[in-house]
Structure 1
Amino acid sequence: MQKSKLWTKDFLAVSLTSFFVFVIFYMLTVTLPLFATDELHASKQSLGLIVTIFLVSGIVFRPLAGKWMTTLGQKKVLLIGVFIFLIGSILYMNIHSLSALLLLRVLHGIGFGMSTTATGAIVANVIPEQRKGEGMGYYATFMNLAMVVGPFVGLTLTNTLGHTAVFTVAVVSSVLAVLCSLVLRVPEVQASSATNEIQPAKGLAAFFEYRSLPISVAGLVVAFSYASVISFVSIYAKEMGFTQASSFFFVVYAVCLLASRPFTGKWFDQYGENSVVYPSILSLAIGIFLLSQATTSWVFLLAGALIGLGFGTITSSFQSIAVKKASPHRRGVATATFFVFFDSGMGLGSFLLGILSTAAGYKGMYVFCSIVALLAIAAYLVLHGRKSQKQRIISQNESLGK
């Protein structure tokens, strides 16, 4: 039987929309702390709020966006989200105080929460049913690339042309996200037919996919530890004298992530989730610990390699598990559920670790976060890994029986 086409105009449009939005998110996450200290003279304690407030507003609007998509339609919610995101990107040009920056982060977070929730729901509809796992893997790769391109471009521009250049790129990327959204054709008919056949969820079930909650909670723990990297690595690098190396930190991150993707994807399918997740979390923990011990650029970049190998694989694996747990018509809600918890971990981590870094320094903070990353192994084992292993053994026994 011939495979249904995956790389359609609509799949590319929704994937690129997600890419451009996440590029801005990661670019501003690593550069705004520098902007706040250099231009707004913000205190170290307040730096975590820059990420936390953004993510909190996104977290609040994610489940609302999921609900609105059932009434307004997925494309309308996406367009509203990306236009709000564009307005927020433009307004960074005129920020002159920390309070104004924090207020803008609320608005920008709303656009981020709405647009990324919509893209997660839409992509589940545009991917052919028989290629769902493959398609979600490629879609996750677009986000992984944004996780690399954003910080690299942001830190390179900050170190060479200044903060205004960063905000200009944010506006251009926002415009590209809007254009990709406009050309996207969303198969609303599929969504409505599914709604007619299946009783709509009520109460909290309309906003959250309960079957995806365990892996989402494990994702929260991982995201908490990773918040130390995405929120503070640029400040830490500057403090340690690794300013030039900081730009290449995410290049090394990207190379290791992309080089490992074909192997980790095959292992995930052939040997099960656990064979990929446990080594990936361990790689993340070791990488964060190396950050705390870095005295040379070489060790600093090695940490980036291990973190990229670990965290990049974990996020795509966890999201795939969350989507796989849900019924076909609930995949968008499952994606929203995962990112609510994931963003909560990032936001909580950015806020609390900002306080911890003031008391213990960045080195002490990274030691603590390496321990949290190790605890994520236990969290995954209890919440999902043990059950996944049992199911795999049962499946193997059934296959041998046949």
Structure 2
Amino acid sequence: MDSTNKLWSKNFILVVVANLFVYQGFQMLIPTLPVYVKSMGGSELQAGLVVSLFAFSALVFRSITGKGADTIGRKPFLLIGFLVLILFNVSFFAFSIVAMLPLLRLFQGAGWGMTSTAIATIMADNVPDARRGEGTGYYALSVILATSIAPIIGISVLNHYDFNMILVLTTVFMVIGFILTQGISIPKQEKQPEPANAQKESFWKSLFEKKALLPSLLCLFLAVPFGGLMSFIALFGEEIGIENIWIYFVGHCFMILISRPFIGKLFDSKGPAIVIFPGAILMLIGLLLLSFTTTIPMLILTSVFYGLSFGAVQPSLQAWAIDRSASNRKGAANGTFLSFMDLGVALGSLVLSSVAAATSYAMMYRISSICMVIFIIIYGIYLLKTRSQKHSEDHAEAANH
């Protein structure tokens, strides 16, 4: 194999493993914090705020980090991000009262926005263009595995111990992630020549990568129901009387593991449409099945549909966003993509918590599936438009000959 197409370098392996630990620490807090807030007498709105304020804060700092990583370099944002993330995680020990938790999460979100965007950009630096779908898929696998495993550990720990034990574990995972990133070779960022028209673009517009906007917008619609699923799955389990709701994540994780090796290669060889469109339909089916779930067998079936589809679609959208962007805008592309995902998670946590309070968690998941219908419509229109343009170009080329 051509060395320029080598994927499993030392840098890439360290990025993936470090990312697994960092997300493991982060994801353990997602399903457990809302339960902790309610156990302390907090409302559904306050339970949603600890997730949504974190995500909104991360969104802002992702955009700044994306641009900064392209101009200043990856390393400063990686170091500062880890420092803030770990510091405010430890702060929960001293300020564990309902009124303080949203504020702590707001600051922690800033650290998360910097850390996760810097790691994603370093990943993009170490993946060959010809293997973008495969490489981004394995990177995303570390995210999705953590998303699947961390809630199992978190819910189990909360059931048998207390929230302080979760804080200890999350801090340990984040510190391990930080140590691993110190072994990654990160070259000093060279100043990129600015395009002739760059001075005309405002600072705020330059924070976002225009060519990554379509995949990012689709990711937003994907992330709204995902935010509701991940944030309130434990509370949904209480509602339907399934104590071992963590079983969902076992199926979710298993489907991602068995599908990941070929999904990325399929993306690289056939393009994004063959992965994204069917995956979005399966995700819609998975959400609707979840909303009607009352038994463990049905919960497992739901995890098969949703795990397979989310594991295929989310990393494919991210790889597509990077592919569409210039090589000197990888940081901005990742920042844009992850910002939209954070926005979706924030909206999902905040808006859907109000829906759940007014109706039920089952109805909340049913309503959230509308987002996937919108996703399918937008992407379907894009595919039709692209096909029509290609047909017109082929027709014009044939006429010229």
Give the TM-score normalised by structure 2: 0.91
Q: 1:393 to 1:140 in 2, by over 3 A?
A: farther
Unmatched runs of 5 consecutive residues or more in structure 2: none
2:36 is matched with 35
Q: Determine the C-alpha separation between the residues in 1 that align with 2:72 and 2:107.
A: 21
Structure 1 residue 390, shift from structure 2 partner: 5.1
Root-mean-square deviation (CA, aligned residues, Å) is 2.6
Structure 1 residue 327, shift from structure 2 partner: 1.0
Q: How does 1:257-276 map to 2 (within 5 A)?
A: 257-276=256-275
Structure 1 residue 127, shift from structure 2 partner: 2.8
Q: 1:95 to 1:304 in 2, by over 3 A?
A: farther
Percent identical: 32
Structure 1 residue 268, shift from structure 2 partner: 2.6
Deviation sequence 1:238-276 (CA, Å, 0-9, x none): 2222121x1221111010112122333343334432222
1:316 is matched with 315
Contact 1:215–1:380 (CA under 8 A) maintained in structure 2:
no
Deviation sequence 1:322-359 (CA, Å, 0-9, x none): 11100111122111111111111110111010111111
Which deviates more from structure 2 when the two are superposed, residues 333-342 or residues 386-395?
386-395
1:158 is matched with 158
The code of the aligned residue for 1:294 comes to T
Q: Determine the C-alpha separation between the residues in 2 that align with 1:336 and 1:391.
A: 29
2:69 is matched with 69
Q: Determine the C-alpha separation between the residues in 2 that align with 1:141 and 1:348.
A: 24
How many residues are paired up?
396
1:105 is matched with 105
Q: 1:292 to 1:130 in 2, by over 3 A?
A: closer
1:231 is matched with 231
Q: Determine the C-alpha separation between the residues in 2 that align with 1:296 and 1:62.
A: 39
Structure 1 residue 90, shift from structure 2 partner: 1.3
The code of the aligned residue for 1:196 comes to P
Structure 1 residue 129, shift from structure 2 partner: 4.6
Deviation sequence 1:296-346 (CA, Å, 0-9, x none): 111122212211111121111110111110011112211111111111111
1:241 is matched with 241
Contact 2:59–2:342 (CA under 8 A) maintained in structure 1:
yes
Contact 2:66–2:333 (CA under 8 A) maintained in structure 1:
no
2:351 is matched with 352
Contact 1:82–1:111 (CA under 8 A) maintained in structure 2:
yes
Contact 1:52–1:348 (CA under 8 A) maintained in structure 2:
yes
Q: Determine the C-alpha separation between the residues in 1 that align with 2:263 and 2:126.
A: 25
Q: How does 1:2-401 map to 2 (within 5 A)?
A: 2-4=2-4, 5-38=6-39, 40-70=40-70, 72-188=72-188, 191-192=189-190, 195-196=192-193, 202-203=201-202, 204-244=204-244, 246-382=245-381, 384-389=382-387
The code of the aligned residue for 1:322 comes to A
Contact 1:274–1:388 (CA under 8 A) maintained in structure 2:
no
Structure 1 residue 82, shift from structure 2 partner: 0.9
- Relative to its length, the structure with more helix (as a share) is 1
- Secondary structure (helix, strand or coil) at the match of 2:342 reads helix
Unmatched runs of 5 consecutive residues or more in structure 1: none
The code of the aligned residue for 1:339 comes to L
- Secondary structure (helix, strand or coil) at the match of 2:125 reads helix
Which deviates more from structure 2 when the two are superposed, residues 72-81 or residues 196-205?
196-205
Contact 2:28–2:153 (CA under 8 A) maintained in structure 1:
yes
Q: Determine the C-alpha separation between the residues in 1 that align with 2:263 and 2:391.
A: 20
Contact 1:212–1:334 (CA under 8 A) maintained in structure 2:
yes
